[in-house]
Amino acid sequence: MNLQNILKLFLTELGPKNLYSLCQDKNGQSPLHYAAASASLAACELLISNKKGELVVRLLASKKTIAVAMRNKRGMTAFHIAVLADNLPALRVLLNDLKFNPTVNVLDSDNRSCLMWAVIAGQEEVVRKLLIEKSIALFHKAHKDKKQLTALHLAALIGSKEICKLLVDHGYSSTERDAFEATPEHLAAGQGHIDALTYFAFNKGGPGPPLLDCMGRTPLFYACLGGQAHAVEVMSKGQSPSLDPINSLPCIKVLLQHHYNTNVADQDGKTPLDLAVSKSNQEIIKFLAERTS
């Protein structure tokens, strides 16, 4: 029987809820400490996956040399990491038992909150959990990262209609602007995220003033450009959007249904068709040419 099987047998037989408080040596070191010190990844995984992960959080937080508000080199706290790992039990321990305050210990070096990282990771249930916490929800509504992106911008970039709707239902504005004065609708169009774009387009409740960024470009321009340069820059330290060719034509069709003008020019005098030509997208060029002739 190998060491991992012995450890598994030990865990199965012992199995009390206070496992980590019982199994400590005179220096306060648990089996997990020894597994980590011996670089035994299998043993570490076995200990943590034994439904004792939240106990590990409690154990480490109880150490005087460790605080729940400690940060890594990117300014992330344990709460940020638990969010990225979709670890709801650890989040409950940090929030309810260890009294971690996400409205104080909330921002990393990119000025991104725990909620923003949950959005970037596409963790819908974690986003829902964080929005239930009223103090978190109130703090985050107008919060922007270093690129002036809100949580809703980030949801549009990853294309999650469900998270977009969840945020809007909790009072997030779909007209907030980023550093380039782009709205979430611009970013969804640029990434070819048809479901998110359709949600934003229909959520406006009818025709209104065109949404223009700092270059005088509507979401239609973003759909023609593919939007990747903007998206990759702002997401470079998180989950990057796909670099595969974007199928923007469905987005363009949705935008035209909502009265976006194909003949309007941006501040450089370029129309959506001009931008499509610059990207050599023959399908979009043909489609727009038929509607501008």
273-289 pLDDT, tens digit per residue, is: 888 888 777 888 888 88
Tally of domains in the chain: 3
Residue 227 clears pLDDT 60, i.e. is over it = no
- Among 108, 140, 172, where does a domain finish? 140
User: Measured between alpha carbons, how far is 289 from 81 in angstroms, rounded to an integer?
Assistant: 49
Q: What pTM was computed for the model?
A: 0.69
Here the CATH number for the domain that contains residue 155 is 1.25.40.20
Residues 136 and 115 in one domain: yes
Over residues 194-223, mean pLDDT? 86
The CB density around residue 12, as the number of other CB atoms within 10 Å, is 9
Which pairs with CB-CB distance under 8 Å and at least 24 residues apart come from 108-113?
Answer: 108/71, 108/74, 108/75, 108/76, 108/77, 108/80, 109/74, 109/75, 110/74, 110/75, 110/145, 110/146, 110/237, 110/238, 111/144, 111/145, 111/146, 112/145, 112/238, 113/139, 113/140, 113/143, 113/151
Going by pLDDT thresholds of 50, 70 and 90, the confidence category of residue 69 is low
Residue 273's pLDDT is what? Answer: 87
Residues 155 and 167: beta-carbon distance below 8 Å: yes
Q: Give the pLDDT confidence of 104-137 residue by residue, as tens digits.
A: 456 778 888 888 888 998 989 888 888 887 656 5
The whole domain housing 76 covers 67-140
Residues 190 and 212 in one domain: yes
Tokens standing for residue 109: 């070096």
**Could you give the percent of the chain with pLDDT greater than 70?**
60
Q: Give the pLDDT confidence of 33-49 residue by residue, as tens digits.
A: 455 444 444 555 554 45
Over residues 168-173, mean pLDDT? 92
Helices 249-257 and 194-203: crossing angle, nearest 10°?
10
Residues 41 and 115 in one domain: no
The CB density around residue 45, as the number of other CB atoms within 10 Å, is 12
Residues 118 and 166 in one domain: no
- Among 140, 168, 191, where does a domain finish? 140
**Non-local CB neighbours of 128 within 8 Å, separated by 6+ positions:** 166
Residue 155's pLDDT is what? Answer: 96
Residue 100 clears pLDDT 60, i.e. is over it = yes
Residues 272 and 225: beta-carbon distance below 8 Å: no
Residues 23 and 98 in one domain: no
Residues 52 and 73 in one domain: no
Residue 205's pLDDT is what? Answer: 63
Residues 290 and 254 in one domain: yes
